[in-house]
Amino acid sequence: MWGSSSSTSSSAKKSKRKSKSSGGGFDEEAVETLFAQYADEEDPTVIEMDGIAKLCEELDLDPESDIRILVLLWRLGSKEKPAQISKEEFTSGCNDLQIDSIEKFKSLLPSLDTGFLDREEFKDFYKFCFQFNRQGTHRTLDKEMVVALWNMVLKGRIPDERLETFCTFTEAQKSYTRITLDQWTSFLDFCYECEDLSTYDESMSAWPVLIDEYVEYMEEEQKKK
């Protein structure tokens, strides 16, 4: 596992790793052992959703509603393929974060609140949320999943009224059954750049049609009041 060094050299390296770990340092061997606990049985080079769910159970996180698992996967560097994290990503991410045990993962949890992210970091994380939840070669996400993700990821990040009305509008649109990455990212940019809908000029807009239709929907809703 650690190369073809002599037994003396190998023993010295092992001793060094143990010494670092006992002193509160980083233990690469412990990370490999940890990864193996959650790795896929058919492909031990990746942790897939079943393994991620097992990790969530260890960390007392709900994988369907707790945003911290997405933040953790993002910070570990999961990006090669959706719905999984590779061994290389996991070990590299653990090294960057200096975590090599479940106890250290648990101690990291308080820092996984998205409130700690600045706007640019959050935009990167927000894009990751879409990419990670794709299935296979699909480039779009099912509308119901997108609405659930918006409520999970954007709660407290954008005005509640904007989030609620946009989700209600999207759910009601029969012409949209799946959402693209452009529509996903544009919605966040739109929230940042157009806080007041009265300033929205569709003729000058470069937003996706979904955004134009949302603004029209809101104008109609205002007329009903």
Question: How far are the Cα atoms of 3, 57, 83, 87, 133 from residue 53, in angstroms, in the given order?
Answer: 32, 6, 11, 16, 14
Mean pLDDT over each residue of the chain, to the nearest integer: 89
The 3-state DSSP class for residue 142 equals strand
How does pLDDT run across 192-215, given as a tens digit for each residue?
999 999 999 888 889 999 999 999
Bridge partners, residue 179, by sequence:
141
Is the CATH number of domain 26-112 1.10.238.10? yes
Question: How far are the Cα atoms of 94, 177, 214 from residue 172, in angstroms, in the given order?
Answer: 42, 10, 11
The 3-state DSSP class for residue 46 equals strand
Across residues 96-122, what is the average pLDDT? 95
Q: Count of alpha carbons within 13 Å of 117, Cβ hemisphere only?
A: 20
Q: How confident is the model at residue 1 (pLDDT cuts 50, 70, 90)?
A: very low
- Cα–Cα distance, 15 to 74 (Å, whole number): 32
How does pLDDT run across 127-183, given as a tens digit for each residue?
999 999 998 889 999 999 999 999 999 999 999 999 999 999 999 999 999 999 999
Across residues 103-132, what is the average pLDDT? 96
* pLDDT for position 202: 83
String of DSSP letters for 49-105 = HHHHHHHHHHHT--TTT-HHHHHHHHHHT--SSTT-EEHHHHHHHHHHHT--SHHHH
The domain limits of the chain are: 26-112, 116-224
Across residues 44-55, what is the average pLDDT? 97
- Cα–Cα distance, 193 to 40 (Å, whole number): 42
Neighbours of 202 (CB within 10 A): 12
* pLDDT for position 130: 98
Bridge partners, residue 47, by sequence:
85
Cβ-based neighbours of 34, under 8 Å, separated by 6 or more: 94, 100, 101, 102
How does pLDDT run across 10-38, given as a tens digit for each residue?
333 343 344 344 445 789 999 999 999 99
Residue 64 has pLDDT above 80, yes or no: yes
pTM: 0.86
* pLDDT for position 24: 59
Residue 7 has pLDDT above 80, yes or no: no
* pLDDT for position 218: 96
Of 224, 158, 160, give the one whose Cα is nearest residue 194: 158
Bridge partners, residue 178, by sequence:
142
Across residues 116-123, what is the average pLDDT? 95
Look at the domain 116-224 and name its fold: Recoverin; domain 1 (1.10.238)
Token pair listed for 89: 């990503």
Does 26-112 match 116-224 in CATH topology? yes
More confident residue, 6 or 111: 111
Cα-Cα-Cα-Cα dihedral sign, residues 119, 96, 43, 34: negative
Residue 66 has pLDDT above 50, yes or no: yes
